[in-house]
Amino acid sequence: MEQQLKWSIANIFSFFSGLYTNPISWHQDISEDKWRALGEEIFKVWNLSFPIEWSSVQNCKELNKLYTIHFSGGLKSSVLPIESVYKPWTQDRSCALPFAKSKGYLLGDSAYHMFYLLESFQIELPEEYSNTPDHLVILLDFLSVLYKYSTTSFIEDYLIHHFDWLRDYNHELKKHAKEGSFYLALTDVLVQVIEEEKARVKKEMELAATL
């Protein structure tokens, strides 16, 4: 993968990661130009349209309200973007807990794999995500790190194993979010981007194998 493309993709995923954090932390840095640039970059890399209007990002108060509704644990309409919740809790056959194979729980195997990966890369988790390393914010930011510093084969494995839950998440979000809401639109785009990127990386790996 050419370096320029890798850095471009890294920046896009880093940007997506930021959009899933509290809008108060990033809203002051955004502008219409930047928003347009994001759409153009997504189109350039994956030939995907970016249908989220600048107007839906402009109002920080409104965004914060939506963020609170969807991402604050314990509130009605909370749809936590955390990988463990959408996967069987553990593959460990020796685990004697009655919910071991059930979905819907935090700190599943995927979280522990993320702990392992982050530790291997000597990356420290911020306090607010200290026990949710498989939160979408962290998954995307780590993906961005991989594009900057890691191999395509590593990226492929990571994409396959840590983003296979996004469609389920999006489906759940659709049950709670109003049509056209920012986070629903954002996740729609992200799902497409991840699928396209998986396909692109797969093709690149296949091509590399033939050389």
Partner 1 sequence: MFGFKLSRRGFLKASASTAALATAGTIGFGEWSQQFASADRKGNLREIPSTCNACSSKCGMVIHTKNGRLWKLTGQEEHPYSKGKLCARGHGYATIAYTKGRVTEPLKRVGDEKFEPISWNQANKEIADKLLGIIKKYGPEAISLTEDPRASGKYYSPRFIHALGSNNYYTHHVVCSNSRDAGFYHTVGVSSTSADIGAAKYIMFIGRSYGDAIRPSSVLALAEAKDNGAKIVIVDPRLNNTGNLATEWLAIRPGTDLALVLAMAHVVIKEKLYDVDFIKNHTVGFEQFASGLGEYTPQWAEELTGIAAETIIRIATDMAKAKPKALIEQSWRGAFGCNYENSTETARAVAQFNALLGNYNKKGGSIIPTKVKLGHLDPKKHPDPEEIKTKKIGTEEFPLAYEEQGVATIVASKAMEGKMKAAIFNHSNAALGYGNPKYMKEALAKMELVVTIDVQMSETALLSDYVLPDVTYIERDELIEELSGKIPGITLRQKAIEKVHPQSKPIDIIYKELAEACGIGQYFNFSLDELNEAKLKPLNIKLNTLRTKGTIMFPELEMEYDILPELKTKSGKIEFYSEAFKKAGYSPVVRWGEPKVSPDASSFRLITGKQAIHSHTQTANVPILMQITKDYDLERVWMNAKRAKGLGIKDGDLIEVISDEAKSKVRVKVTERIHPEALFVPSHYGVTSKFLETGKDIGFGYMEHVPFDFEKRSGAGMIHEVIVKVRKVKA
Task: Compute how many residues bind partner 1; rule: CB under 8 A.
Answer: 82
Q: 182-210 and 32-46 are packed helices; what angle lies between their axes, rounded to 10 degrees?
A: 40
The piece of 50-58, 112-120, 188-196, 199-207 that touches partner 1 (CB under 8 A) is 112-120
The piece of 50-58, 95-103, 177-185, 198-206 that touches partner 1 (CB under 8 A) is 95-103
Residue from 1, 112, 174, 202 in contact with partner 1 (CB under 8 A): 112
Is the separation of the CB atoms in 60 and 25 below 8 Å?
Answer: no
In the complex, least distance from residue 204 CB atom to partner 1, rounded to whole angstroms? 16
Instruction: For the segment 166-205, give every residue that binds partner 1 (CB under 8 A).
Output: none
Does 56 sit near partner 1 (CB under 8 A)? no
Residue from 47, 55, 120, 210 in contact with partner 1 (CB under 8 A): 120
Does 75 sit near partner 1 (CB under 8 A)? yes
Q: Which residue's entry shows tokens 């928003």?
A: 35
In the complex, least distance from residue 191 CB atom to partner 1, rounded to whole angstroms? 20
In the complex, least distance from residue 73 CB atom to partner 1, rounded to whole angstroms? 3
**Interatomic CA distance for residues 195 and 211, integer angstroms:** 25
| Residue 182: partners with Cβ closer than 8 Å, 6 or more residues away | 52, 56, 57, 63, 66
CB of 2 or CB of 206, closer to partner 1: 2
Binding mask 130-159 toward partner 1 (x if CB under 8 A, else -) reads xxx----xx--xx-xxx-xxxx--x--xx-
In the complex, least distance from residue 82 CB atom to partner 1, rounded to whole angstroms? 8
In the complex, least distance from residue 184 CB atom to partner 1, rounded to whole angstroms? 19
Q: Which residue's entry shows tokens 């709670």?
A: 176
**Interatomic CA distance for residues 23 and 63, integer angstroms:** 6
Q: Which residue's entry shows tokens 């809203």?
A: 27
**Interatomic CA distance for residues 34 and 54, integer angstroms:** 10
**Interatomic CA distance for residues 96 and 91, integer angstroms:** 12
